[in-house]
Structure 1
Amino acid sequence: MFHPTVARLTYRALLGRRRALILFALPGLLLLMAIAVRLLTGADDQVAANVLGGFALATMVPLVGVIAGTGAIGPEIDDGAIVYLLAKPVKRPTIILTKLIVAIGVTVVFSAVPTLIAGYVLNGNSQQIAVAYAAAAAVASIAYSGLFLLFGTVTRHAVVFGLLYALVWESVFGNLVPGARTLSVQQWALALAQKIAGGGLVTSDVGLPLGMTLLLVVTAAATWFAAHKLRGLTLAGDE
């Protein structure tokens, strides 16, 4: 279910000049912020949790997910290049799964890894905060990649809808509206971070079993629907 040629083409699309600049800029900003905070405040566990939770997980991870998830397939649909890919003897679910794996890989590298490094810079991983948030960023990357890959498949305005979801739903409603927190990828991921860090500085409104279940269900559902939509595009192209 993994196609090397599709993967190579997707990597090239995601790491093109414009997207690469944004992908490197967000982690770079996090690392600069971590260095500045450490120099100004020293090693402070609460400050480290605030930076990693408030910027890394709440802002950087979903934005990287938007870039990677929508960029994995959206541009090919917009410019019509998807027709050439669909003409190849490759199963449509294989195309979607391959692009999902690539999107997850890119999102993890550009979000979870910088989060881990920033955590060590901020407080040396005291109370497992760096590892906790890096793990949360990694599992959130899976769900975000699935969701935003779906957006890229169903609409030409995937980036706009992705940004609205990431910045409005996740960052605003997911943090401020109690009922919406249960439906927030960020909160699901924080359940894992809370387990690793032992609570206290890292908390989630969702229990770990429910959070991990929802992450898997949303990712699987988004992937299935994206593959289903791609089959529809094939039929339309054939007509």
Structure 2
Amino acid sequence: MKSLFLITLRRVLSPARLVMTGGLAFAPFAVTALILAVDEGASLGNFETFILNGMLAGAIIPLATLATARAGFGDEIGDRTLANVTLTPYSRWKVVLPKLLAVTLVPAVLIAATAALTSHLAYGADFTATWAVTLGAVAAVILYSTLFLWLDLATPHAIGIGLAYIVVWEGLFSRFIYGVRFLSLRSYSLSITHGMDERRLPGGDHTALGLSVVVAVAVVAVLFALSVRRLRTMDVP
């Protein structure tokens, strides 16, 4: 398991992925710093709507995790080396788990850093707010990484379907169609942030903190099980 983790981590840390993920992660902090430099009295409501909800949760986190999740199985499927892994005597969950940990670790660290710095700057060093935003962002990274890792196993068109999911489902449907939020990973991560600090993201129809955590854990468990099952049953070239 350790060797699989390190091999996958090396793929995630390739220069191209690292530049892409790091650039995406840095964007919310850069935009927030620029806004505050121009207007020190910028509205917190606008910050939460456009930076936290729209930019960080709605675009940066899913795009960053889509890029890194590809290193889990997508690269090996693409270059036809997955058989080297599946022919080993490991149980399939012992293959999926280290790969999931590797593709989650890097974006989790980068996103946690930018979420903490951005919220610390915007909320004037409010520790509770910073902690809430950071944990909500990390929860989103875990959810999206698990989803996109499974998607890479489920279809050869994971990138296209993933982008469509981000734009159409998370970007449009979950915001404007009532009831879709119950099937939105972004909504549950924002509910975790709101549940930890109810001053943040007020006015939204948030799910209770306890329920959000339970659903998030259940989603990760189900997607992990689906990934294991798919790896066990798929035809490996």
TM-score (norm 1): 0.90
Q: Cα offset for 1:237? A: 4.4
Q: Cα offset for 1:130? A: 2.7
Residue aligning to 2:2: 4
- Unaligned runs of at least 5 residues, structure 2: none
Change (3 A) 1:199 1:76: same
Change (3 A) 1:204 1:61: farther
Alignment of 1:81-120 (within 5 A): 81-120=81-120
Rounded Cα–Cα distance in structure 1 between residues aligned with 2:124 and 2:200 = 18
More displaced stretch, 24-33 vs 119-128: 119-128
Cα distance per residue 1:71-92 (max 9 Å; x no partner): 3211111211111122223221
Q: Which has the higher helix share?
A: 1
Residue aligning to 2:191: 191
- How many residues align? The count is 234
Rounded Cα–Cα distance in structure 1 between residues aligned with 2:146 and 2:123 = 32
TM-score (norm 2): 0.91
- Unaligned runs of at least 5 residues, structure 1: none
CA RMSD in angstroms, aligned pairs only: 1.9
Change (3 A) 1:104 1:200: closer
Change (3 A) 1:74 1:33: same
Change (3 A) 1:204 1:40: farther
Residue aligning to 1:209: 210
Cα distance per residue 1:111-149 (max 9 Å; x no partner): 222111111122324483332221111111111111110
Rounded Cα–Cα distance in structure 1 between residues aligned with 2:95 and 2:185 = 25
Provide the secondary structure at the position in 1 that maps to 2:70.
Answer: helix
More displaced stretch, 142-151 vs 166-175: 166-175
Query: What amino acid maps onto 1:184 in structure 2?
Result: S
Provide the secondary structure at the position in 1 that maps to 2:179.
Answer: helix
Cα distance per residue 1:153-173 (max 9 Å; x no partner): 111111111111122211211
1:64–1:110 contact (8 Å) kept in structure 2? no
Report the identity percentage.
23
Query: What amino acid maps onto 2:30 in structure 1?
Result: L
